[in-house]
Chain A
């Protein structure tokens, strides 16, 4: 956690994700929903200047309301109002893409969107797969139960 007070002994904050320059956030509302972006500058209490970078995430440089952002654990080392070029460099250096994909959060989002895009046949196959897996689990369990 960040240092929060002026005493000699630093206090550990319960918050870990802050709105700061370089914070990677997920846009959770609007036309850019589901895309990652980086906070480049803060406008005021409610708004921040944000950039994808466009080349990596598809988010243009824009002012966005903080309510539309869900902050992630990742932070990128950039200066105030960093260029797109330096932003891309910083992202590559921090390895944000891979780290994000490895999180449970990203995995959940991906699985949910995959489930929603299933066709009727896909749903049927998923149902069969669940059934066969459940059967295997149950037979193994019952076997263990019997032997115990």
Chain B
């Protein structure tokens, strides 16, 4: 509430007229006025715009217009605006304004050398060796090719079960050029219908030779590591199957 000011009998207003005060009323002494324009109820002030202007004596404090500055649209909240649009236009969240690209978090238990069970696709059921995670978030895996026929391939970790078995691939160096671009589809030279129907069966021999070379470079070290462990090569050769009574959610991998 607005602070009461101590009033004696003689009180004058601005124009010098004497005002009558009720002296009997108990007053609360205050050093300064808390508000010139107190709230009557929430959102409604005692004095309207023009009255408040004259009470504040704003004509004294108004600045003269200087040289024209660059026009800026001031940031006003919806409540302060005089014009509020009928339909609310949703504002973009600050967190969405700058979209950061974060790398997919690897599932717990997937480490370089982990044996993974592939759950879908051409090599469904195969047990493969995880090499590394590519920039796109996909997993780079290999059979190895000589062991189970799975070449260097990309898999999404959603279609994979990570086992607790690992192969020691610390000594294996994966060539730097094997990244997401390496696996891009080879486009047809001919465009349109002709191109669609033509080079379907043909594989570029140069491309194939390069692939074989890369496969060898990756696999030799891994095969050597596999052969050191008993039964690991047979294990990788065998496909994963479920038998009657086996429930994957209750099984330990």
Measuring CB to CB, which residues of chain A are less than 8 angstroms from any residue of chain B? 116-121, 123-125, 128
Contact = CB atoms under 8 A, between A and B. Distances in A.
Contacts, number: 31
Contacts of B240: 120
Q: Which 5 A-B pairs have the closest CB atoms?
A: A120-B163, A121-B165, A120-B253, A119-B164, A124-B235
Given A120-B164, A120-B165, A120-B253, 19 more contacts: A116-B250, A116-B252, A118-B252, A119-B252, A119-B253, A120-B117, A120-B127, A120-B163, A120-B240, A120-B251, A121-B115, A121-B163, A121-B164, A121-B165, A121-B235, A123-B251, A124-B235, A128-B231, A128-B234
Contacts of B127: 120
Dominant SS at the B interface?
mixed
A119 B163 contact: yes
Contacts of A117: 252
B79 to A, nearest CB: 56
Dominant SS at the A interface?
helix
23 contacts: A116-B250, A116-B252, A117-B252, A118-B252, A119-B163, A119-B165, A119-B252, A119-B253, A120-B117, A120-B163, A120-B164, A120-B165, A120-B240, A120-B251, A120-B253, A121-B163, A121-B164, A123-B251, A124-B231, A124-B235, A124-B238, A125-B231, A128-B234
Interface string B96-133: 00000000000000000001010000000001000000
Contacts of A125: 231
In the complex, which range does the number of interface residues on chain B fall in?
Answer: 10 to 19
Nearest to A123: B251
A100 to B, nearest CB: 26
A2 B190 CA distance: 95
Nearest to A117: B252
Nearest to B230: A125
A62 to B, nearest CB: 29
Interface string B220-253: 0000000000011011001010000000001111
B128 to A, nearest CB: 13
Contacts of A116: 250, 252
B161 to A, nearest CB: 8
A120 B235 CA distance: 9
A121 B163 CA distance: 8
A124 B127 CA distance: 12
A119 to B, nearest CB: 5
A121 B238 CA distance: 11
A124 B234 CA distance: 9
A128 B163 CA distance: 18
A128 B252 CA distance: 18
A123 B242 CA distance: 11
Nearest to B240: A120
Contacts of B117: 120
Interface in B146-195: 163-165
Contacts of B115: 120-121
Nearest to B246: A123
Nearest to B231: A125
A121 B161 CA distance: 13
